[in-house]
Amino acid sequence: MALKHSLILASGSPRRVDLLHQAGIEPARLMPMDIDETPKKAEHPRSLARRLSAEKGEAAFAALTGDVAWAGSYLLSADTVVAVGRRILPKAEFVEEASAALHLLSGRNHTVYTGICLITPDRTLRQKVVETKVRFKRLSGNDIEFYLASGQWRGKAGAYAIQGLAGSFVQKLVGSYTNVVGLPLYETMLLLSGEGFDIHAHWQEG
């Protein structure tokens, strides 16, 4: 039997799952997609976020093709990119990368872009890119040293997680906070409800 109006999340991010839970939505399935996230030459960070979110969604959709159990499901994917101007900061995997990113962000403005992509049961593809402006305080040597020691930078775009210790670095934020965490809730719920997904289905359950 098809799982009508269930949501598949093409991500393994605990932060995105938590944000959906906050909005009262329980993904029926998580499908993290392993794709090449290398920016193209001269690619704008906004374009990168849009492209990668679509590629993740399309890869998950292709993996589900022919599986009738998920035929009535919605498929949501997202990708978050952090940039200083047009310079894209990679997801930090090594301490040297994280250190360089934090030194670059120190006392400066940067932009967080999240591309969201929704594929509906009738195979309609909808996309949105949300951007948030963030300014970090000037980071001291101790700020950077102890943050690197915390490990909270690992695997994060821009080498920080705003919902953790790095929240204390934020001097100013203009736009969506949840966008910086990894999934802009307002825009995501708008996209889902606009395509017929019942975003309130489980609200009365608490």
Beta strands 74-84; 125-136: pairing state = unpaired
Report the distance separating Cα 76 and Cα 7, nearest Å.
7
For residue 198, indicate whether it is catalytic: no
Give CA separation, 192 vs 68, 76, 127, 163, 196, in Å: 21, 9, 11, 24, 7
Q: Are 106 and 40 in contact, with CB atoms under 8 Å apart?
A: no
Alpha-carbon span 130 to 180, nearest angstrom: 10
Smallest CA-to-CA distance from 118 within 3, 4, 44, 7 is with 7
* Given the residues 34, 79, 143, 198, the one annotated as active site: 79
- Cα atoms found within 13 Å of the Cα of residue 149, Cβ hemisphere only: 6
Positions marked active-site = 79
